[in-house]
Structure 1
Amino acid sequence: MGPGESGGPAGRADGRGAGVGAAHRGQSAPRRAQHQGGRPPLSRNVARRGDAPHQPSVPAEPRDGGRQGSESRSVGEAQAGIQREIAVGSSSVESDQRVSSTGSGRSIDLRGDGVVHALDGIKVVDLAINYAGPTSATYLVDQGADVIKVERRIVGDTSRRAGNTPFLKLNSYAFMAINRGKRSITLDITKTAGQEIVRDLIRGADVLVENFRPGVMERLGIGYDTLSNVNPRLVYGSLTAFGAKGPYADKAGFDRLAQGLAGAMYRKDTEGRPLPNGIWVSDWGAPMLMAFGIMAALFARERTGRGQRVESSLMQAAMAMQFSQLTVVEDNPTPPREENPAGYNSYRCSDGVYLNIGVYMPHQFSNLCRALDLPHLAADPRITDPLRRHELDAEVNTIITALLETQPSQAWLDVLVEADVPCAPIVDRAQVPYEEQVLANEMMVTVDHPVVGRTHIVGTPVRLSETPSVPLRPAPTLGEHTDEILGELGYARERIADLREAEVI
């Protein structure tokens, strides 16, 4: 399992897929044709540098040594006013107009790409490192937010170095996947001048995301109380390993540790050693919770006018993935039993391909039995008897296992699909990006990275019909937008040069 958040020495929070063909019942269908000349092409929706260019806010005139004064009107307030004018009922915008009428309201095209996006005008400061924290901001950038990723000088975010090679040049697979579309500024936030730049960013921001250990941000002078005074409309997202309270609150933590403490590592190998899940449950689950919390806080801000703190943790994510399993009914006389319904399992076919069968409802069980020519089991009364269902499950699973080993996967897929039995092949991870179902729904998209070239990444996982997500752009190179971002804050070139000489940026 990979590392997660709230760690670091500085105390940072820190099978092939068989297609469903048209073969006759009970006969083996030809396996899906293999693509010639290597893997098949992915989506041609390629985003390149320069596509849908970012439209920066108008920078203030430099003053007071080249830095924008705090008395200027909050950009967040101006953006909020614009957001309230966005018409919900239409996303039609003339491509050559910044503002166009849409019936009773107005649609605002802040990016200048001819489309209204849900989070146009929202600015996010991403101070998080590693995986879960930065991915929280990824969900926001996908929907149109301007996300400024703050990175350490020289070395950048820790996720840049995970799996890094001379070819990748600090553009690791993970970093490119979860930082697409962001802008990068290098900044030493342990220095006073760096902390002042953070406060300048916050004056015009809507959201901040961080995953330091509790207390670190406060010691740096950029904690919630300080920054909410700088910008009362700020939504402050704080992600920790184990939660902000309790005996583990100030401990470093990563995905595996959070899984273990949350009871998610309940499976054991043949030697009795606890096994983690095959995916990073905490690292990839926590960002969904955080992004949801941030959106809820932004919605509440429209009514209250104020931002607030949003908290979650890696451990909370692992807990949330076990809603039913962790429920305790103290007075229940029947001990809970881990369910393993008949026909809800994976089965090996004669060609070596495994199929998942997802029979869960009684009528689906009956359909499965008839499809496998087991009519005597289709109406077995134990299927609806919770006290005896486990007996039937044990009997039927043995029969299904033996039956499916007699024919190839495609033949069984045709039989089961015809009988309306939920089923699908188990696909090797390396093959997933090339699956027809994946390509049809743009679950993978292609971007052209300026350093490593053509790269395939997971696409935006949420679709909105009226305010679509933005075309995905490559992740930034280290510090690519430092001067641009400081210029937007009103910093003069001379001041930027001084900050670079002082190793602040």
Structure 2
Amino acid sequence: MILAWARPLCHRHPTKKTLALDLKTEAGREAMKRLIATADVFVENYRPGAFDDLGLGYEEMSKLNPQLIYCSISAFGSTGPRREVTAYDNIIQGFSGMMAMTGYGDKPLKSGAPVVDYATGTTAAFAISTALFQREREGGKGQFIDVSMLEVAMILYSSHITSYMWNGKHPEAKGNTYPFATIGCYEASDVPMMIAASNLTQQKALWTALGREDMIKMNNNQRLDSHAEEAAVLASIIKTQTADYWEEFLNKKRVPAARIRRMEEVMADPQVAARQAIQALSDPNSQVNGLKVPVSAFKLSSSPAEVNKAPQPVGAQSEELLKELGYSEQEIANMRKQGATN
């Protein structure tokens, strides 16, 4: 039975094969070494030093496989005074200062999605791709990749860091507002919507479309100084029509705008269908057969992404994969007796 809390995780593991190994056993560690010896990339997200203690750290594994790209992901990285501290997405959102600049005033707010978790995975994938490319260009030598969730979070708000380094002021939490009033959340007659007339050209297009050419500014300093006035004028205009009306009207005028949507609306939007962004898991023997999940945020012209197999139970392919590594049926049976595999 797939527990309700585990279903959201199903999008992370389609098409994968799973091998269960108890790395506290000698046989489990030996099997891991055989696997690593054949691998292009190895990724782990235990506390720094844990795999070194098992004899599976980068220094040892690079001797076994000099071409290995070894990626280690942790909360604070493999060096520094906090290297052994455990943390998760919400902890890093709080520690990094991200929450303190999200929400309103002195009420910190966590992002609705685990953005640090996802950005960390994306960063690791980018780093691995970079290392693979460098390996190809520079003689086939592998290297160690050290990914820190804290530093990923800092990159996500790097513009705020630059501002702080310039003026020494902590970025205030201003909710859905922005320094320019023509960017932000406004209440239409029915539901809230977002408007993003970001640059001077777009703010001119916005005020022209709304018949308020008198509000057009010639430079960004004028926009900053007029925030309160512009916000009040925009609010009074936007509340006169529905969000759908303004979304269509403003986009036709080349002013980015969108009604704030709920999940069911996004999933039913024809843009999502046209991009085939959601696919159903196909595995008649799986408890999640037919479950729809996101596929990929990018499209490759010659190798499109697809979900062709549902997530497998841990160790579902242990015997198959161990045989690929050269283990006999008797050796696998012995490993099971020792608790090294399932």
Which of 339, 359, 371 does residue 209 from structure 2 map onto?
371
**Alpha-carbon distance between aligned partners in 2 of 1:329 and 1:453, rounded to the nearest angstrom:** 49
Query: Which string of whole-angstrom CA distances, capped at 9 and with x for unpartnered residues, describes residues 91-130 of structure 1?
Result: xxxxxxxxxxxxxxxxxxxxxxxxxxxxxxxxxxxxxxxx
Letter in 1 for 2:203: F
1:446 matched to which residue of 2? 280
Letter in 2 for 1:231: N
How much does 1:286 deviate? 0.4
Which of 145, 152, 158 does residue 310 from structure 1 map onto?
145
2:155 matched to which residue of 1? 320
Letter in 2 for 1:456: K
1:174 aligns with 2:11: no
**Alpha-carbon distance between aligned partners in 2 of 1:171 and 1:186, rounded to the nearest angstrom:** 22
Distance change >3 Å, CA 276–CA 186, structure 1 → 2: same
Query: What's the C-alpha RMSD, in Å, of the aligned pairs?
Result: 2.3
Match of 1:233, SS? coil
Which of 34, 43, 52 does residue 200 from structure 1 map onto?
34
Q: Is the 8 A contact 2:281 2:307 kept in 1?
A: no
Identity level (%): 30
Which of 59, 71, 74 does residue 225 from structure 1 map onto?
59
1:494 aligns with 2:323: no
Match of 2:78, SS? coil
- Structure with bigger helix share is 2
Please give the residue correspondences for 1:32-431 in structure 2 after superposition, counting only pairs within 5 Å: 167-168=1-2, 172-267=6-101, 272-303=106-137, 304-327=139-162, 339-351=178-190, 353-378=191-216, 380-381=217-218, 384-386=219-221, 388-431=222-265
Q: Is the 8 A contact 1:184 1:482 kept in 2?
A: yes
1:109 matched to which residue of 2? none
Letter in 2 for 1:377: M
Distance change >3 Å, CA 308–CA 278, structure 1 → 2: same
Match of 1:238, SS? strand
1:469 matched to which residue of 2? 305
Match of 1:188, SS? coil
**Alpha-carbon distance between aligned partners in 1 of 2:105 and 2:225, rounded to the nearest angstrom:** 28
Greater relative contact order: 1 or 2 (C-alpha under 8 angstroms, separation 6 or more)? 1
Match of 1:185, SS? coil
How much does 1:188 deviate? 0.6
1:48 matched to which residue of 2? none
**Alpha-carbon distance between aligned partners in 2 of 1:275 and 1:333, rounded to the nearest angstrom:** 24
Distance change >3 Å, CA 333–CA 210, structure 1 → 2: closer
How much does 1:432 deviate? 2.4
Q: Is the 8 A contact 1:350 1:409 kept in 2?
A: yes
**Alpha-carbon distance between aligned partners in 1 of 2:52 and 2:30, rounded to the nearest angstrom:** 14
How much does 1:340 deviate? 2.2
* Runs of 5+ unmatched residues, structure 2: 173-177
Match of 1:183, SS? coil
* Runs of 5+ unmatched residues, structure 1: 1-166
1:23 matched to which residue of 2? none
**Alpha-carbon distance between aligned partners in 2 of 1:334 and 1:327, rounded to the nearest angstrom:** 10
